[in-house]
Amino acid sequence: QVQLVESGGGLVQAGDSLRLSCAASGRAFSTYGMAWFRQAPGKEREFVAGIRWVGDTFYENSVKGRFTISRDNAKNIVYLQMNNLKPEDTAVYYCAAARGTYIFARPTDFSSWGQGTQVTVSS
Contact 85, 20 (CB under 8 A): no
Q: Which amino acid is at 109?
A: D
Reported confidence tier of residue 54, pLDDT bands at 50, 70, 90: confident
pLDDT higher than 90, residue 26:
no
Q: How many CA atoms lie within 13 A of 118 on its CB side?
A: 6
Strand 112-113 relative to strand 91-98: parallel, antiparallel, unpaired?
antiparallel
pLDDT higher at 33 or 54: 33
> What would the mean pLDDT of 60-64 be, rounded to a whole number?
96
Q: How confident is the model at residue 10 (pLDDT cuts 50, 70, 90)?
A: very high
pLDDT greater than 80 at residue 1:
no
Averaged pLDDT score across all residues of the chain: 94
| Residue-wise DSSP of 47-59 | EEEEE-TTS-EEE
Predicted pLDDT at 43? 95
Q: What is the mean pLDDT of residues 10-35?
A: 92
